[in-house]
């Protein structure tokens, strides 16, 4: 199987570059808007923490969008990272269906 060698964007990077910076919002301002600590938001933006279902809901509500957008970004990031470390598992042999006798 061929997988892309370049990492997909982390949701924190998308949050900063595509949502906060164009609006002129600082991390501190956005964290306060969400009722979060600065550290929690900063860890997501700096890729030290992933986007959870709860954070996806908060971002979606703040930007009037669907939470699946954020969860899809996180899934793509997590899967890419896992593929970098993954050792292939041997495939199971095919299972033959038994003939049924009536």
Superfamily of domain 11-77: lambda repressor-like DNA-binding domains (1.10.260.40)
How much is the average pLDDT of 3-20? Answer: 91
pLDDT band at 5 (very low <50, low <70, confident <90, very high): confident
Closest CA to 5 of 68, 64, 80: 80
Q: Note the pLDDT tens digit of each residue in 17-58.
A: 999 999 999 999 999 999 999 999 999 999 999 999 999 999
Q: Give the residue extent of every domain in the chain.
A: 11-77
Is pTM beyond 0.75? Reply is yes
């Amino acid at each position: 199987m061929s997988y892309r060698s370049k990492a997909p964007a982390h949701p924190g990077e998308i949050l900063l570059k595509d949502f906060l910076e164009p609006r002129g919002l600082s991390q501190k301002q956005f964290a306060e808007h969400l009722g979060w600590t600065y550290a929690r938001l900063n860890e997501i933006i700096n890729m030290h923490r992933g986007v959870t279902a709860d954070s996806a809901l908060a971002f979606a509500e703040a930007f009037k969008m669907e939470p699946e957008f954020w969860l899809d970004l996180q899934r793509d990031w997590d899967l890419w990272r896992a593929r970098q470390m993954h050792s292939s598992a041997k495939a199971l042999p095919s299972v033959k269906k038994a003939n049924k006798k009536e």
